[in-house]
Amino acid sequence: MITAGIDVGSVSTKVVLLVDNEIKYLVRPTGWSPRYAGEQTYHELLAQVGCKPENVAYRVGTGYGRISLGFIDKAVTEIHCHARGANYLVGRGGLVIDIGGQDSKAILINQQGKVIDFTMNDKCAAGTGRFLQVMAAALGVDVSELADLAAGRNPLEINSMCTVFAESEVISLLAKGADKRDIIAGIHRSVARRVWGMASRFMPAEQVIFTGGVARNHHIKDQLAREAGVPVIVPELSQVAGALGAALYARELAEKC
Ligand code: ADP
């Protein structure tokens, strides 16, 4: 059986095809049109895998752009898709922390991957991937370079909670001659503290499963591990956890049909 999960996020669109138990996936920028990004990425992956659209048994959409997708059979919330995908990748439940482009979520799941409780920040860019993107742009580096630049440095205090003010703070630290790498370390600490401030209410948990695009940043992972005091696991497919969860829901729903 082939089922599909389509996760249209603010920054990137992730599609997973579950071909029996094999995971095929594709990540593309969302750009200006969530609908177009969802359709294009889905059809591009189908072509890569050599699968005709009519051979897909069921399609589940998730992410902020799910409502714009005309070709899906059902939409499922990001919380449930991320929980399901994370538990499939890691197992044994725990606390899932997902940091994406425009929000961050903390989801407590049991050993079967069922959601026990959750909280999310989708009101403020601080503590999200957007904050890191804005700061990287202000410092003239790419987001993918941030973690290596921060490692082993002395984090400078970034006091502003607001992204716009924090950007001004970074620019004035630069003007005062502060080392860029110490500023970047401070930016990481600010993101990790903000997210942990939201997630820590669900501790104790046996493990933290870190997903979303920001899980590619190993320095944020290290900062979270320091706060958590339990292993922080970043699954290899962390960025597509939500799309994988959607594809797993699709398989369950197809089997019920
Ligand atoms: P969304 O689901 O909201 O589209 P993602 O989960 O795809 O967001 O995460 C996007 C964020 O991931 C970006 O804002 C950026 O901060 C971060 N990111 C993306 N690629 C990388 C990378 N190579 N290294 C570090 N961080 C990255």
Maximum alpha-carbon separation in the chain: 64
Supply the mean pLDDT for the chain.
94
Centre of ligand 1 from the C-alpha of residue 63, in Å: 14
This prediction has a pTM of 0.94
Q: What was the pLDDT predicted at 91?
A: 87
CB distance 41 to ligand 1 below 6 Å:
no
Q: What was the pLDDT predicted at 27?
A: 97
Q: Which atom of ligand 1 lies at the shortest distance from residue 217's CA?
A: 25
Q: What was the pLDDT predicted at 218?
A: 97
Q: Is the pLDDT of residue 49 over 90?
A: yes
Centre of ligand 1 from the C-alpha of residue 54, in Å: 32
| Rounded Cα distance, 158 and 65, in Å | 32
Top mutation candidate among 134, 195, 216, 218 for ligand 1, by most atoms within 8 Å of CB: 216
What are 151-189's pLDDT values in tens digits? 999 999 998 878 888 899 999 999 999 999 999 999 999
SS3 of residue 42 by DSSP? helix
Centre of ligand 1 from the C-alpha of residue 30, in Å: 12
Centre of ligand 1 from the C-alpha of residue 217, in Å: 9
SS3 of residue 78 by DSSP? helix
Centre of ligand 1 from the C-alpha of residue 1, in Å: 31
Which DSSP letter does residue 178 get?
-
Closest Cα to residue 196, out of 136, 134, 119? 119
Which DSSP letter does residue 53 get?
G
CB distance 239 to ligand 1 below 6 Å:
yes
What are 175-227's pLDDT values in tens digits? 999 999 999 999 999 999 999 999 999 998 999 999 999 999 999 999 999 98
